[in-house]
Every structure is written in C-alpha cells, then in structure tokens.
Amino acid sequence: MTGHHGVPGASGEATGGRLVLLGNAIVDLVMRVPALPERGGDIVSRDTTLTTGGGFNVLTAARRLGLPAVYAGAHGTGPFGDRVRADLARTGIEVPLDPVTDEDTGFCVAFVDGGGERTFATSLGAEARLTEAHATAVLAALRPGDLVQISGYGLAYPVNGPVLASLVARLPEHTRVFLDPGPLADQIPEEVLEPVLARCDWVSCNQREGRLLTGRDDAREAAAALAARLGPRTGVLLRADADGCWLVPPGGEPAHIPGRRVTAVDSNGAGDAHTGAFLALLGHGLDLSGAVRGANAAAAFAVTRHGPATGPTVGELLDFLDGEPLAARLSSALGR
C-alpha cells in the first residue's frame, strides 16, 4: 500500500489550515462506579456527568492550542443535538452541515471503574446518518492547507462508512489526512478501511488498536508492522499511555518518544488530547519531533484533570513544560 503524499509541516513550514473532523460529536453520560456490576446486578454511581464528547474532544484539544477547527459530521435535532451545537459554538468550532431534521444526536454511556478503566455502550443517532449531500457540502467547505481527521467510529457505522470512504478518496491534494481507527478498528469493513488507509498521511492509534490492525502485542513491533502495511509515504503514531508513543516517520524506522510521569486521575480523553495537540502543533508549522513531544506533554497534562476534554491551553502547556527546551520551541511556533 502507498500513502497519498508527503508531510508538509514536518519540516517547520506553516500551513494556515484548519482541523476538519470527519467524525462524530455526541453526548457522553459518564458514570464513576467502584466496579462494574455483575450480570443482572446494579451499582450506585459515585459521580455522574453529562458532557459533549466523541470527536468534540479532539477538536477542543486543537482549539485550545489555537488551531481553527471544523466539525464536519452530522448532527441531529433534539436536546442532545442542541447541546452538542451549543458546545461547538462556545468553543469556536465551525459547523458547515445543517441538522438532520428527524433524529436527535446519539449518546454514549461510559462507566469508569475504581481502577480508571472505561467501559462504553453507545446509542447511535443522527451522527451515524451521513449522506452523499453531506459529503458534497464538506468537500465544498475545504480550504487549502486543511488537516482532515477521520474517526474509525464513523468508518465502522454501516451508513457512514461507505460515504466517508468515497469522500476521503475525493479529498483535494492540498489536504493532509489523519486517521484514528478507534476501538472498533477490527469492525471496519475492508472495502471501507483500505481506501482510507491508502489516502492517509498519518495513522494514530493506541496499543490495543495497533494489535487489532497488526496482530502484534509489542508496541514497537505493532508500530513497525502498521508502517509496513501503510507504505513509505504514511507515518504512524502508536500511543503507549504513560510510556509515551512510538513514532514511525514516513519511510523511517520506529523511534520511542518517552512520556511524562504524572499522577493520573482520569485517563478519559488522553488519546484525544494527544491527537488534537499533534494536529494543532503540526498545523502551526512545528517540526515533527516537537509536535510529537508536545502531544505527549498534552496527553500527560490531560490525565491530571477530571473529564474527557482536558487538553491544555497554550499557557497551561508552556507552564507544564516549566522552562524545558521544548517550551521555547512551542512558544515560538504558537506565537507566544
């Protein structure tokens, strides 16, 4: 398989583009429980929150680091759709598509147990009903230099998958394409996944998703195997939680980029913070090494806060780095 093209921005040039998310913004009902109940049982939540989640977390992480962002997914009419649109507007995220008129946006119930592990159940809504008319509108809204992020959730949905695969194949040359295959990576039909992988400039996944895509348990081996599957024009980021990530630059060899040791209070959204920060820093023209190390720092910051959308602002990220050499590089790229 061959990737689409090289990686503008990896050498430091600014792109002037936006993050355009071809994903799903839904409502998350997060319940913190001591442990999951046994089958047929019940348990009382210690804390329950209702937040906008899904792709919103990636968009928010990028916006907090100053990158313009666009939610190019479907959204519904009803209380959940209203909530999602209000949060997108509050965060300064553009919404080019009109609401689906006869269905509300979907939601996800997330159980976070005492060990911090998350278990999900999702109810699909309007976000899972993309049409060819939506795809045409998205293509018309793109600008030179845009970074297009694709969520594996959408690719796994029966209606969205074929629409997104066709849309990705028609993306203009000037866009860079990033895929996060997500927890449903092994449920994406091959006829949907393969054309998307063929167009990707970057694939970013966690260790479980890397294993699903390659059959390799070891993080380094999975990153290398995924890079070999994608070809020399596509880069790989395999996130390894507190251990940082494995980076395979386009045509390069796997390199371990260390993480940061922090006291984690909530891992929910750490991967989204990493992805959003990586895209934002590339979008600002930072070199590849700085973007990856900045993303590791953003993810470490995120797990020290409760909630799924906890990526740092520019000021918070620079304070977190506390005078390290990377801080000066980020400050220059972000205009601080």
What's the pLDDT tens digit per position in 215-258? 999 999 999 999 999 999 999 999 998 899 999 999 999 999 99
Indicate whether 13 pLDDT > 50: no
Q: Which two tokens stand for residue 317?
A: 């990220």
* Site of tokens 């992020």: 149
What's the pLDDT tens digit per position in 276-330? 999 999 999 999 999 999 999 999 999 988 877 889 999 999 999 988 899 999 9
* Site of tokens 């519904």: 76
Edge-to-edge order in the sheet of strand 118-123: 47-54, 25-32, 107-112, 118-123
Q: Are 308 and 61 in contact (CB under 8 A)?
A: no
What's the pLDDT tens digit per position in 18-76? 999 999 999 999 899 999 999 999 999 999 999 999 999 999 999 999 999 999 999 99
Instruction: With residue 309 as reference, give the H or E element that holds it.
Output: none
Q: Give the residue with greater pLDDT, 261 vs 26.
A: 26
Residue 16 has a pLDDT of: 62
**Domain spans, the chain:** 19-23+54-74+128-334
Q: Are 59 and 276 in contact (CB under 8 A)?
A: yes
Bridge-based pairing state of the strands 176-180 and 25-32: unpaired
Instruction: With residue 293 as reference, give the H or E element that holds it.
Output: helix 288-302
Rounded to whole angstroms, how far apart are CA atoms 228 and 61? 29
Q: Does domain 19-23+54-74+128-334 have CATH number 3.40.1190.20?
A: yes
Indicate whether 15 pLDDT > 70: no
Q: Which two tokens stand for residue 108?
A: 């996800």
